[in-house]
Structure 1
């Protein structure tokens, strides 16, 4: 195979080797061919091959080197923004059937916490949604979401048991462009115990999310509580690259 006619060559080589790892052609732990073997296969110089391998080491897709046999790393790539934001899209991307049971949708006064996050005055009206999210038939997460009123009122014309709220809002022209995620652990209590079928005090993985428009106007604040045996969040970083936040399933 010759890539000599493609420019820049090192980037084309990087893309080809990345694809082999992320597609599973080179699974985790696979011995990476030597520099000499790659030079012959791609009709490339040793400097070009080294540049491509260095880039993939920076991404965490190649491990070892400097006396250790280089091997393929785990192909955990960051999720697209829409997939990370939408439980429905994420579930589909891992081969699971997403589900939701709406327990409540109501207009009510914003609590002090919600008001602080959304940049409004406590007591101003917001639209709150409480849903149980499912992976297949298994409870996975309790979703408590508060929307500013002019956005949330759109949900009264939407069947919130039918699928992704975010997808619906985007179809209505709502600008959902930015999000800040805070992840920690909390103990199950109250309604979480009932909906998730866990014991009181059991650990839950909590993701609090503030979603804003491209201009930075707060739109939605959510407190999502996951059963940690069904999902977790992985951060991969290197000295050369910013961290990628990835939501991954922990069961087959």
Structure 2
């Protein structure tokens, strides 16, 4: 098809898509303003917005109210049925992880935590909250509660550049399995600020109870992911009775 026969908004869409694919506009980066794009591409704002809307519908762009248009970031996802730390999951996909420690404190376990962790009420636990990033883009809010009886030295670690799972492994309490759940919820104002979202945008909330090889609970964990930067995958098997009936 000759270029002259392609609608102008499609040509603009194709040019911008090519630039994104070539890395001119990196993943997670903000595009130039609409005024700048109109001037460079020599099109009206109506034509430009039609092209941008098409790219957003295709998942290449995302609009942020009052902030402009952003190139969609790569989604991170865990391999089906594999227990990995955030750090290991990111590096397996050749992404650079980083963290900002929001809070790190040693405090007594409350009754519910003590019951889940299998420790006495009031026993010391590490309560760690972090903002997790990939390629310097905010992806998730992470909270871990670990009984210090498992690894007392954790209280002294700097987890801005260290994997909690690696630290547990070195302490002889390597995570081996987890009970895991996922649900959706809208972003609160505080969560939206930290994750660079608008309040009410979708989040994926994961919760897990993590066990070492000897059956001890070593972590009560929870990660809140941006809905557009995380993909959950699982392998589903039919029950034996259902399979035999097929």
TM-score range, shorter chain: 0.5 to 0.7
Q: Which residue of 1 aligns with 2:194?
A: 195
Matched length: 164
Q: Report how far residue 194 of structure 1 moved.
A: 2.6
Q: Are residue 142 (structure 1) and residue 131 (structure 2) matched?
A: no
Deviates further, 129-138 or 149-158: 149-158
Preserved CA contact (<8 Å) 1:127 1:153: no
Change (3 A) 1:154 1:79: farther
User: SS in structure 1 opposite 2:161?
Assistant: coil
What CA deviation, in whole Å up to 9, does each residue of 1:201-242 have, x standing for no partner? 32210111111122322111011100010111012335489x
Preserved CA contact (<8 Å) 2:151 2:168: no
Task: Flag as ranges the 4+ runs of structure 1 deviating above 6 A.
Answer: none
Q: Which residue of 2 aligns with 1:181?
A: 180
Deviates further, 163-172 or 105-114: 105-114
Alignment of 1:196-215 (within 5 A): 196-215=195-214
Preserved CA contact (<8 Å) 2:106 2:155: no
Alignment of 1:62-73 (within 5 A): none
Q: Distance in 1 between matches of 2:237 and 2:81?
A: 20
Q: Distance in 1 between matches of 2:186 and 2:146?
A: 25
Q: Distance in 2 between matches of 1:188 and 1:152?
A: 33
RMSD: 2.5
Q: Distance in 1 between matches of 2:81 and 2:238?
A: 22
Q: Report how far residue 133 of structure 1 moved.
A: 0.4
Q: Which ranges of structure 1 fall in alignment gaps of 5 or more residues?
A: 1-75, 242-252
Q: Distance in 2 between matches of 1:121 and 1:134?
A: 34
Preserved CA contact (<8 Å) 2:178 2:211: yes
Q: Which ranges of structure 2 fall in alignment gaps of 5 or more residues?
A: 1-76, 241-246
Q: TM-score, normalised by structure 1?
A: 0.58
Alignment of 1:83-102 (within 5 A): 84-102=83-101
Preserved CA contact (<8 Å) 1:96 1:135: yes
Q: Report how far residue 150 of structure 1 moved.
A: 1.6
